[in-house]
Structure 1
């Protein structure tokens, strides 16, 4: 499962390489479109699917576990550390101007509840004990009926019918959690059949890619915004984004891998990778515009190599930073808290 977490985060970084860098506008403004444009769009297809994978992992393991104060403090401390530290660094080097709004956004972790992944994930994390109470009290058929109702409302209708379902990530994370818990608590034989799961995964991935390519072609011909090419995977609640996440998780969950210390250490820093490279708008502008210069690489012959190297290096550098943070800050901090904490659910 650790390898799955690593691949999930690489998929999210790849998504941000395309979507957060201005490449979509660059592609859209071309008078003629090449194979390169379609490949770049495919590189960015899996961000929301990756978010589903991340939350599905949480649901799978936490539906039979308990949230402790220590776990939440650990999560919150990581979020606060990166948000405040990166903000201060950008201020110190003149890359960002101080405003009351920017300061509050950096310090207060729940500022972007409407759209921010981290704010929603923290609040969702606090809901897990109550979601577990709900799950434990539901009968199997009641649990299934609840999932059917939720997915019809938040996935099937928004995917296939032109209707707007207003929700934020807290709602959706809770739904994914309930789905993951059902599959964990009431396992089906086909879920442990690697052949069936692999075929389902390939079908969902291929359909996702086909949808991106076909819709991109239509957008190019009709002049519509190129971001519409991601319609079937544009948000976490879209059907293909959900199915791909479920099947990919089941496949990796069925694969029995030997313990590998290096993989485990890297996997433990995946959330840190997310926090670092998406910490703020200033970070996105600096990282993708100044450091990587994605738009500058777009019209070069090495555009594909640039994409691969940037995605890999961002993941590796952010991982290295987080490993240092864990070793020198988090571990001593938690040891200190263990000595002074006298909380019931510590």
Structure 2
């Protein structure tokens, strides 16, 4: 029997960092700040905000890689599925009533119905419902891919990344992205790393150098596309774009091999990251909340 992998503090620290980056991303992208950008007058504040908030989708990739890495040989149960469902619905209802109380949304049968059936409405649209579907599918995905040879698994990933990443990044003729298909793809990549690449070790200097290179490339792509008056986030705006993928892989690789020992406080804080993510990815009403605060903040920069 394989020894159970302990979720050590290095991965938990990564979760915390990724959550902070996602908060920054939501503040910029979901706040309405981007509507105030003037590409005929690119300022330092505008460039700062573009770079400050570009990496949210890459961090979602990171969470999916972690899920695949730990769950490819893990087990789910009805109890675990129910617990995840109730956790997601708890945040959905709590946030719904809070934004109504604060006046960012008005109670109606339509809005309450959307809240009640959010897990159906949000599949292939938002993170929470799509991740829940992925969680249900995990035992079936695991059984299927564990029956493949390494060569077959490699070819499968090549096909998926060509379809989901290469075509929309380089050919720009078709946006092939769909939420659940992409979540499965990143989950499979995390599983592949666990099964076949786990013994590969990079020094911290090399690993974090790769992270730095990816960050520089992403920031550089934003600046270049600004000058070309093209969508500055083209290489990173969706989770399937090339630099969003490579940044997630480099970060995961760097932290997976980082030896920082065990920290009860890091692990404890990390346990709250999924709840924070559920709050930020909750609803249009939450995005309206970010919009009000974001546009106010931008005007004071």
How far did residue 100 of structure 1 move? Answer: 3.1
1:168-187 alignment runs, 5 A limit:
168-187=178-197
Q: 2:41 aligns with which of 16, 32, 46?
A: 32
How far did residue 33 of structure 1 move? Answer: 2.2
Which string of whole-angstrom CA distances, capped at 9 and with x for unpartnered residues, describes residues 22-69 of structure 1?
1101123x7522111101100111011011001111001001211122
Tell me how far apart the structure 2 counterparts of residues 22 and 93 of structure 1 sit (CA, whole Å).
Answer: 19
1:125-164 alignment runs, 5 A limit:
125-164=135-174
The answer to whether the aligner puts 1:100 opposite 2:109 as a matched pair is yes
- Structure 1 unmatched ranges of 5 or more: 304-346
Question: Given that residues 124 and 173 in structure 1 are in contact (C-alpha distance below 8 angstroms), is that contact kept between their aligned partners in structure 2?
Answer: yes
1:149-298 alignment runs, 5 A limit:
149-187=159-197, 190-219=200-229, 228-289=231-292, 293-298=293-298
Residue 58 of structure 2 is matched in structure 1 by 49
How far did residue 218 of structure 1 move? Answer: 2.2
Tell me how far apart the structure 1 counterparts of residues 200 and 220 of structure 2 sit (CA, whole Å).
Answer: 26
Tell me how far apart the structure 2 counterparts of residues 24 and 94 of structure 1 sit (CA, whole Å).
Answer: 23
3-state DSSP class of the match of 1:57? helix
Q: List structure 1 segments (4+ residues) > 4 angstroms apart after TM superposition.
A: 188-191
Tell me how far apart the structure 2 counterparts of residues 156 and 172 of structure 1 sit (CA, whole Å).
Answer: 13
Give TM-score, length-normalised by structure 2: 0.90
Which string of whole-angstrom CA distances, capped at 9 and with x for unpartnered residues, describes residues 186-206 of structure 1?
126654443433332222221
Which string of whole-angstrom CA distances, capped at 9 and with x for unpartnered residues, describes residues 189-245 of structure 1?
6544434333322222211110011112322xxxx5xxx110000101111101110
Residue 321 of structure 1 is matched in structure 2 by none
Q: Structure 2 vs 1, CA of residues 156 and 59 (structure 1 numbering), >3 Å: closer, same or farther?
A: same
Give TM-score, length-normalised by structure 1: 0.79
Which string of whole-angstrom CA distances, capped at 9 and with x for unpartnered residues, describes residues 125-175 of structure 1?
111001101121010111111111111111112111122144421110100
Tell me how far apart the structure 1 counterparts of residues 91 and 199 of structure 2 sit (CA, whole Å).
Answer: 43
RMSD between aligned residues: 1.8
Q: Structure 2 vs 1, CA of residues 93 and 125 (structure 1 numbering), >3 Å: closer, same or farther?
A: same
Q: Which has the higher helix share?
A: 1
- Bigger RCO of structures 1 and 2 (CA < 8 A, at least 6 apart): 2
Question: Given that residues 200 and 247 in structure 1 are in contact (C-alpha distance below 8 angstroms), is that contact kept between their aligned partners in structure 2?
Answer: yes
Mark the structure with the bigger radius of gyration.
Answer: 1
- Structure 2 unmatched ranges of 5 or more: 1-10
How far did residue 92 of structure 1 move? Answer: 4.2
